[in-house]
């Protein structure tokens, strides 16, 4: 749990905050006349001491009610086992991480319950020592710690139960002082009203303090008894789930042999875990290398295909250049012939008259006739 969230939870569960809110609601209802102003106005709002006593009462009551609210779900959840049944032959310390994982997956508020916290501490003790030989003594130590925490959680409540009667006695002293100061020998009848008012403050503050203290003491008694019963039930449930779950090492030579065997098994498990991690790393390295080789081969294939395209493009370009070269030679030849014809025409001068055409066919016929 983060620090801001922890601070928020502490403020949300503060009995001072809830007690102050209840006091404000109480005096608001008193001013509106809902609570019968004749009675509560006299005993709860007649003097500043009575205000302080009432506010302290609501703070203590809020602490007790919040404690009762926290204990109720813990008692309801005790009927459900947390670690499951014990397998045949028991379990070893190597199974503690798997058992702790079940507790780690719980909601943060539930992980702070008495049973869940006791189970977690017991499993961590077995895992840390790699043995369950002194688990019973450790569970008793954890039970004593929980009892001390429970007793310490009522520190504010005990202070309030002690402070309210002291405030009542203070109000008595103040009231008697007011009565004595109001008494005048020369005017006894006129001062009797002020004397009576001072004595009223003395008795009212004391009566209110005693009444509020009795209510808080009885409420604390029932809540404390419920919590002690819860702790006793937690002791039984935790012992049922942890004691006997792990195989204990006997004393003597057999115990030393069992301890050596357990140490060897632990070393083998550590080596197996180390080899498994190395195998996973090697497999990951080989897979990464295979991926890189596949990518390299793909790049080479693309390069070869690009080379083939370049060769075909070069061949096509050569053919086009050869065709262009042939077309240029033909054009040069035509231009040379045109230049020669123009030169001949210039030298021969004007054109000669037309010569009649000779018909060879007529000459052949004449020769035959002769």
How far is the CA of 307 from the CAs of 5, 6, 221, in angstroms?
Answer: 65, 68, 94
Distance CA 363, CA 361 (A): 5
Of residues 45 and 341, more confidently modeled: 45
pLDDT per residue over 144-194, tens digit each?
Answer: 999 999 999 899 999 999 999 999 999 989 888 888 887 776 766 767 777
SS3 91: strand
pLDDT per residue over 251-284, tens digit each?
Answer: 445 555 655 666 666 677 677 777 788 788 878 8
If you average pLDDT over residues 223-249, what whole number do you get? 85
As a whole number of angstroms, the longest Cα–Cα distance in the chain is 205
Q: How confident is the model at residue 216 (pLDDT cuts 50, 70, 90)?
A: very high
Model pTM score: 0.61
Q: What's residue 345's pLDDT?
A: 66
What's the mean pLDDT when you consider all of the chain?
A: 78
Residue 168 CB contacts under 8 Å (≥ 6 apart), including other chains: 49, 53, 205, 206, 207, 208, 209, 210, 213
For residue 119, what are its two tokens? 């189970």
pLDDT per residue over 52-91, tens digit each?
Answer: 999 999 999 999 999 998 888 888 878 788 888 877 777 7
* Mean pLDDT lowest among 237-246, 302-311, 329-338, 360-369: 360-369
pLDDT per residue over 7-35, tens digit each?
Answer: 766 677 788 899 999 999 998 888 887 77
């Amino acid at each position: 749990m983060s620090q801001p969230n922890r601070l928020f939870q502490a403020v949300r569960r503060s009995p001072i905050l809830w007690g102050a809110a209840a006091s404000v609601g109480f005096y608001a209802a008193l001013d509106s006349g809902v609570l019968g102003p004749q009675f509560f106005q006299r005993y709860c709002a007649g003097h500043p001491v009575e205000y302080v006593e009432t506010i302290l009462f609501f703070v203590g009551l809020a602490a007790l009610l919040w404690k009762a609210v926290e204990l109720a779900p813990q008692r309801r959840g005790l009927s459900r086992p947390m670690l499951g049944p014990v397998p045949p032959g028991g379990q070893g310390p190597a199974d503690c991480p798997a058992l702790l994982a079940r507790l780690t997956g719980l909601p943060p508020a539930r992980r702070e319950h008495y049973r869940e916290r006791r189970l977690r501490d017991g499993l961590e003790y077995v895992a840390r020592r790699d043995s369950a030989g002194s688990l019973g003594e450790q569970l008793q130590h954890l039970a004593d710690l929980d009892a001390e925490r429970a007793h310490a959680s009522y520190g504010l409540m005990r202070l309030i139960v002690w402070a309210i009667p002291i405030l009542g006695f203070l109000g008595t002293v103040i009231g008697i002082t007011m009565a004595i100061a109001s008494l005048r020998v020369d005017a006894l009848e006129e001062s009797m009203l002020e004397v009576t008012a001072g004595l009223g403050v003395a008795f009212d503050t004391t009566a209110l303090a005693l009444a509020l203290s009795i209510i808080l003491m009885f409420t604390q008694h029932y809540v404390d008894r419920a919590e002690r019963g819860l702790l006793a039930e937690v002791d039984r449930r935790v012992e049922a789930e942890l004691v006997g779950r792990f195989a204990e090492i006997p004393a003597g030579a057999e115990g030393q042999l069992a301890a050596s065997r357990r140490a060897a098994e632990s070393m083998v498990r550590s080596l197996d875990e180390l080899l498994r991690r190395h195998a996973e790393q090697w497999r990951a390295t080989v897979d990464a290398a295979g991926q890189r080789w596949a990518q390299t081969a793909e790049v080479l294939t693309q390069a070869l295909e690009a080379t083939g395209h370049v060769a075909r493009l070069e061949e096509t370009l050569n053919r086009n250049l050869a065709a262009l070269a042939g077309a240029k030679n033909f054009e040069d030849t035509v231009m040379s012939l045109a230049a020669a014809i123009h030169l001949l025409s210039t030298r021969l001068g004007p054109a000669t008259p037309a010569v009649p055409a000779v018909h060879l066919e007529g000459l052949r016929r004449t020769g035959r006739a002769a």
